[in-house]
Amino acid sequence: MRFALVIFLALGLSAHEPVRARKAMVVTQDPIATDVGVGILKRGGNAYDAAVAVAFALAVTYPTAGNIGGGGFALVRSANGEANFIDFREKAPGQATRDMYLDAQGKPTRDSVVGWRASGVPGTVRGLELLHKKYGKLPWAELVKPSVKLAKNGFVLSYATARSIRGSERTTGPFPESKRIYLKGGSYYEAGETLRLPELARTLDRIAKRGPSEFYQGETAKRLAAEMAKHGGLVTEADLRNYQAVERKPLLGHYHGHEIIAAPPPSSGGIGMLQMMGMLEHLNPFPAGMGSAKLAHTLAEVMRRYYADRSQFLGDPDFVKVPVAGLLNPKYIAQRADSITDRATPSASLQHGAVPPEESPETTHLSIVDAQGNAVSLTYTLNGSYGSGVTVPGLGFLLNNEMDDFSAKPGVANMFGALGGEANAIAPGKRMLSSMTPTIVTKDGKLLLVIGAPGGTRIITGVMQAILNVIDYKLNVQDAIDAPRLHHQWMPDRLYLERGWSPDTVELLKKMGHNVETGTMGVSNVHGILVEEKWLQGAPDGRSNGKAAGY
Ligand code: DON
């Protein structure tokens, strides 16, 4: 018995230990960016300062998604318990039209995905400005400086980043400036080589010295708009000048004795997570155990039901009335859950629910907690890897292809297979619906989890499963994140299981009527921080090359 106990203690309780630190923690998808964040914290910056510096650093060292040409969301919670949501999602340009991505026959084109016409008006720099203005401590220029240095002096490419750049050829290849910057004379960089980005360094340096408005009204704005006009893109100087990041009230829900602080529309994530968690609380499949067919089936069915609602009801709240209270009404959620049987519901037979009337109005991620207990959960993106593939000549940054997150036409899927309708139709100045789901969980009013992910529509289901693994199965944050995940999004009617599910479970799910697909692609890349009594646990997703570090 004693021998067994000694072995048990020596081996630990976990499959994979998280990084632990006493005071502060930074988790990002790129080791260089994580180190920038820790450096800012050690120099007296707070979590918000670190988030700004990390986001700029990722725009250099993580070109697949780190950006100044895209947009995103930041969910913050101050040490005093106040939460806020900063929406810096891109907007459709003023010249955008509802059918702009349909050809003469009404068929969707590739223009929402590749090239100059695919970009919404970038929001990242305004979003970081708002985060800094409201909450930051260190001077703006100091937060941008590390990224200027990285771009100017260059940084050593990891195997993962070199491979990612090589894999981007289909997207960036057609655009000479992207090719010139990310290739050296026609051949790809190898891991271990140094990549320098001098044009980006100059753009970032101007943003550091002249402030965020440089991007929206300065030389950068002028050159960006001129290049857009030259290449048939829609973003104009007026679009850039008028762009504003906005604060929104985070959604607040409860799950198994925890408070969930979640992303409101135009993110579809918070409503999704709270709806799915509500159905799970009602059905309680957890005694069946992690990895069981019963749990997997129930997860798939609650996902299916939420995604049917998503495609109908969700869009930019500044343009459409999103029935938030109805979608989160406990009676409605219970009634949706009660339609789940022990067989898979064919998606074709399932529609969105009849949401009760309102009584009252109601693709990279970083998580940071500082020594005071302030927390930032920030997800931002170019949408697809390397966005539209376009690098603005002379400015050195990639542009997003976020227009593809709109519904080009009802019933036509976007690049993530998501369907949308009227609520997410294109309109000038409108924000496209997002799955980005930065989330914070508290218990009895105390910070517990700061978490989020990239991964398109798989973000919402991925982040939720990691949270369930912490709350319902008491896993450390690394194990909770690394455990195999699944995804269902109603349409296409397919239950996707990552590598790692038992073949027996897969067989049982097939027998229940699920159209199972297995694969090596991850269900999002979750990065989280768990706050314990004396320690912080940091965990980048084991599926990524991310890094957690703290002090
Ligand atoms: O906002 C969204 O839902 C998408 N543009 C997110 C894209 C994404 O996560 C890509 N990452 N793998």
Answer whether 454 contacts ligand 1 (Cβ < 6 A): yes
Rounded to an integer, the average pLDDT of 114-140 is 98
Q: Is the peptide bond before 492 cis (omega within 30 degrees of 0)?
A: yes
Residue position matching structure tokens 């997860």: 299
CA of 11 to the centre of ligand 1 (A): 38
* pLDDT(415) > 90: no
Cα–Cα dist 88/98, whole Å: 22
Site to substitute for ligand 1 among 271, 310, 363, 379, most atoms within 8 A of C-beta? 363
Q: Is the peptide bond before 266 cis (omega within 30 degrees of 0)?
A: yes
CA of 131 to the centre of ligand 1 (A): 21
DSSP state of 408: S
CB burial class (10 A; 0-12, 13-18, 19+) of residue 518? middle
* pLDDT(5) > 70: no
Give first-to-last CA distance, the chain, whole Å. Answer: 37
* pLDDT(81) > 80: yes
Of 80-89, 238-247, 404-413, 421-430, the one with minimum mean pLDDT is: 404-413
518: tokens are 């297995």
pLDDT of residue 410: 83
Answer whether 462 contacts ligand 1 (Cβ < 6 A): no
Rounded to an integer, the average pLDDT of 192-203 is 98
CA of 245 to the centre of ligand 1 (A): 18
- Residue of 28, 363, 379, 381 marked active site: 363
The closest-lying atom of ligand 1 relative to the alpha carbon of residue 459 is: 9
CA of 436 to the centre of ligand 1 (A): 6
* pLDDT(169) > 90: no
User: Is the pTM above the cut of 0.85?
Assistant: yes
Residue identifier of the C-alpha nearest atom 5 of ligand 1:
383
Strand-pair partners of 517: 496
- Whether the Cβ atoms of residue 381 and residue 363 lie closer than 8 Å to each other: yes
Strand-pair partners of 497: 486, 518
pLDDT of residue 9: 44
**Is residue 379 annotated as a catalytic residue, yes or no?**
no
DSSP state of 315: S
pLDDT of residue 421: 85
pLDDT of residue 1: 43
Walk across the sheet containing 527-531 and list its strands.
19-21, 536-539, 527-531, 446-452, 439-443, 258-262, 251-255
Rounded to an integer, the average pLDDT of 99-117 is 96
Quickly count: other Cβ atoms within 10 Å of residue 68's Cβ.
Answer: 31
